[in-house]
């Protein structure tokens, strides 16, 4: 049986795009997700509170959350200072973002793509010295709301650069939901990531995952209830919902190790935490095996 690994990103990527919620609510969401069978969770982000106030309590959240020994937890960082905070907090897996779009990179990180790549080259040795790994997420890999289409060769050049600099893993981010199955095939024919992060902004998230599966990718990000987006890109709401991905994969006979019922309960909690109706169809209707 094929196994697909899903990294749950609601506690960081999901809540980052919402109004700030209490620390205890963030901890409760992480704890609930840790009991679903998901193997990886993106827990917090160590960023300046003025830039992302939703993550201002990252240290307190991580110090309080229950850590399931069967789950790998990761933290997102924007720079060397963030890396130092993540290392001090005890994270063994650290993520850093660079955008394939120079305009989006400036909006997101206030520097050019090349400047971010230089920063990443400098922080990789720092992270490795602590015994942690570095995953480089290439945002706007499938298109940019400011610049339009992104040439796959540009993404491939960024991947070549960060791999040469020592990155342990590569992820491609569909930051504003511009990916389609055709564009997934185009990009993955040019360069292959370890993990893919799709939004469902335009309703193609599950189709994109199926396309990537056909091409051999078996690691994906997803967010409970479909929480998430990008605060620096208009119209970027809507990560692909974890329960929708798991529901589809399980019906195809693909194992994820995740308990779908517990996952739906966690998505219900996410909805309560943010205080609004979330978009996930499986959250609304339940699995197809649920009878009236």
Catalytically active residues are 230
How many Cβ atoms from other residues are within 10 Å of residue 227's Cβ? 30
Burial bucket for residue 155 (CB in 10 Å: 0-12, 13-18, 19+): buried
Residue 241, beta-bridge partner list: 223
Q: Do residues 277 and 24 lie in contact, with contact meaning Cβ atoms separated by under 8 Å?
A: no
Q: Do residues 122 and 82 lie in contact, with contact meaning Cβ atoms separated by under 8 Å?
A: no
Separation CA 241–CA 175 (nearest Å) = 15
Separation CA 202–CA 177 (nearest Å) = 6
Q: Do residues 190 and 155 lie in contact, with contact meaning Cβ atoms separated by under 8 Å?
A: yes
Q: Which two tokens stand for residue 229?
A: 């987006």
Separation CA 266–CA 76 (nearest Å) = 22
> Cα dihedral angle (75, 76, 77, 78), rounded to 10 degrees?
180
């Amino acid at each position: 049986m094929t196994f697909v690994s899903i990294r749950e990103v609601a506690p960081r990527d999901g809540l980052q795009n919402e109004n700030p919620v209490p620390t205890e609510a963030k901890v409760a969401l992480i704890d609930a997700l840790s009991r679903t069978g998901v193997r990886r969770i993106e827990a917090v982000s160590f960023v300046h509170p003025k830039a992302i106030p939703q993550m201002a309590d990252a240290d307190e959240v991580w110090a309080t959350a229950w850590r399931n020994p069967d789950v790998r937890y990761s933290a997102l960082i924007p720079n060397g200072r963030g890396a130092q905070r993540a290392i001090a907090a005890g994270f063994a897996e650290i993520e850093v973002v660079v955008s394939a779009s120079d305009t989006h990179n400036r909006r997101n990180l206030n520097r050019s793509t090349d400047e971010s790549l230089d920063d990443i080259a400098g922080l990789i040795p720092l992270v490795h010295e602590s015994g942690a790994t570095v995953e480089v997420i290439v945002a706007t890999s499938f298109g940019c709301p400011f610049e339009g289409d992104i040439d796959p060769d540009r993404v491939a050049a960024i991947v070549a650069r960060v791999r040469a600099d020592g990155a342990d893993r590569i992820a491609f981010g569909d930051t504003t939901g511009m990916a389609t199955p055709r564009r997934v095939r185009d990009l993955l024919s040019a360069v292959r990531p370890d993990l893919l992060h799709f939004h469902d902004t335009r309703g193609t998230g599950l189709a994109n995952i199926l396309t990537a599966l056909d091409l051999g990718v078996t690691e994906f990000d997803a967010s409970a209830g479909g929480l998430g987006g990008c605060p620096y890109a208009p119209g970027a709401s809507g990560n692909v919902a974890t329960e929708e991905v798991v529901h589809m994969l399980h019906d195809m006979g693909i194992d994820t190790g995740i308990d779908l019922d517990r996952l739906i309960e966690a998505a219900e909690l996410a909805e309560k935490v943010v205080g609004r109706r979330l978009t996930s169809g499986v959250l609304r209707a339940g699995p197809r095996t649920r009878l009236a």
